[in-house]
């Protein structure tokens, strides 16, 4: 490692024989830093390398900074230093460039890659008290493993977002830093029964009317069965409608929080929960509507079969339901 540090020193001092004072001082700082690295004193070596870079901002010194940061286990800073070095390493040796690339690749397994999403453009991203650009960020932000603080804010817009979070080595993390309050969820549209739905209910009643007529002694039992199945059909329809409303609310919340099924965990644990609850409510809604249709059809048959069709019997009270042809659920008809 020390030999590679000296390569950067030689590259810095190889411009002419009468180097200006800043270059002479920078060379001295780099040699001192290399000796400190050999002794394992990375903190002092880092101070020397930073001082040399302040005097002569040569990209090659970024390699030395990367070595010192690695020794201090400041892996995110080390990755950035090697990345800067490789961006302008045209005069460095092949061996040094190869080493820098290997260091950079190994560091990806030791840092956390953070992506910040926000509903406000141009908000300042501050991590651990250090400004890290504005929203939307240009790319991933690399963090050392451990606990970090995030603040996303923009003067005069919404409420500042603050969060403490844990970064895990080798992981990718996405945080939704929303500053604006969520838009109020509008209630789902009320189903509208059409002429076609009512015609379907009437057709079911007409078909049931053609069934054989029961004996008077059994007609009352059939009518009771019709009321029971009709009541169950209404209850199933209510259950299906309730679950459908829950489904709409969960999916609206999923979209308003900028969740995305293409992201890891859909963008966070909250997004996974909203998607799961919405899908479950949708399934239960269909079950309720299907049960309402089946029970409604049965209710229609019971009432029609149980009616007294003898002359002068008069009109009887009845409740008849049939599946809707255009909307989830059933259409019901009450006769007095």
pLDDT at 17: 47
The 10 Å Cβ neighbour count of residue 306 is 22
Q: Can you list the alpha helix ranges (DSSP code H) found in 307-325?
A: none
Q: Directed axis angle between helix 42-55 and helix 61-71, to 10°?
A: 160
Estimate to the nearest angstrom the gap between the alpha carbon of 89 and the chain centroid. 39
Q: 111-176 maps to which CATH number? A: 2.60.40.1120
- Distance between CA atoms of 169 and 71, rounded to whole angstroms? 17
CATH superfamily assigned to domain 2-107: Tetratricopeptide repeat domain (1.25.40.10)
Task: Find, among 272, 271, 319, 322, the residue nearest to 293 by Cα.
Answer: 322
Estimate to the nearest angstrom the gap between the alpha carbon of 60 and the chain centroid. 40
pLDDT at 249: 86
Q: What is the DSSP string of 255-297?
A: HHTT--TTSGGGGSHHHHHHHHHHHHHHHHHHHHHHHHHHHHH
Note whether 135 and 118 are within 8 A (CB).
yes
pLDDT at 91: 79
Q: What is the DSSP string of 93-153?
A: -HHHHHHHHHHHHHHTTTEEEEEEE-SSTTPEEEETTEEEEESSPSS-EEEESEEEEEEEE
pLDDT at 3: 46
Q: What is the mean pLDDT of each run of 10 residues along the chain (336 residues)?
A: 50 50 91 94 95 92 94 94 88 89 92 92 92 88 92 92 92 92 77 70 70 61 78 85 87 76 68 82 85 81 66 51 55 55
- Distance between CA atoms of 330 and 242, rounded to whole angstroms? 14
Q: Which of left, alpha, beta for 171 (phi over 0: left; psi -120 to 50: alpha)? A: beta
* Secondary structure (3-state) at 174: strand
pLDDT at 320: 54
pLDDT at 15: 44
């Amino acid at each position: 490692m020390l030999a590679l540090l000296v390569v950067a020193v030689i590259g810095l001092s190889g411009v002419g024989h009468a180097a200006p004072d800043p270059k002479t001082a920078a060379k001295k700082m780099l040699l001192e830093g290399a000796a400190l690295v050999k002794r394992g004193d990375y903190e002092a070596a880092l101070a020397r390398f930073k001082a040399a870079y302040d005097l002569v901002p040569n990209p090659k010194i970024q390699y030395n900074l990367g070595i010192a940061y690695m020794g201090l286990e400041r892996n995110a800073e080390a990755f950035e230093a090697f990345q800067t070095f490789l961006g302008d390493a045209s005069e460095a040796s092949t061996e040094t460039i190869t080493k820098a690339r290997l260091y950079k690749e190994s560091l990806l397994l030791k840092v956390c890659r953070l992506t910040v999403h926000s509903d406000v453009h141009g908000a300042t991203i501050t991590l651990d008290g250090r400004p890290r650009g504005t929203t939307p960020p240009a790319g991933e932000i690399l963090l050392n493993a451990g606990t970090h603080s995030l603040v996303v804010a923009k003067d005069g817009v919404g409420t500042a977002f603050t969060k403490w979070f844990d970064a895990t080595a080798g992981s990718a993390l996405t945080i939704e830093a929303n500053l604006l309050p969520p838009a109020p969820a509008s209630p789902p549209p009320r189903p509208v029964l059409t002429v076609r739905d009512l015609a379907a209910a009437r057709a079911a009643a007409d078909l049931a009317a053609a069934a054989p007529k029961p004996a008077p002694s059994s007609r009352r039992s059939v009518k009771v069965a019709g009321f029971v199945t009709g009541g169950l059909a209404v209850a199933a329809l209510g259950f299906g409608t309730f679950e459908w409303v829950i489904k709409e609310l969960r999916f609206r919340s999923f979209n308003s929080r900028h969740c995305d099924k293409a992201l890891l965990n859909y963008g966070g644990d909250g997004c996974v929960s909203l998607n799961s609850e919405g899908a479950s409510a949708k399934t239960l809604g269909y079950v309720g509507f299907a049960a309402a249709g089946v029970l409604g059809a049965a209710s229609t048959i019971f009432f029609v079969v149980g009616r007294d069709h003898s002359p002068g019997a008069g009109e009887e009270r009845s409740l008849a339901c049939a599946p809707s042809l255009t909307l989830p659920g059933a259409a019901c008809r009450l006769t007095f």
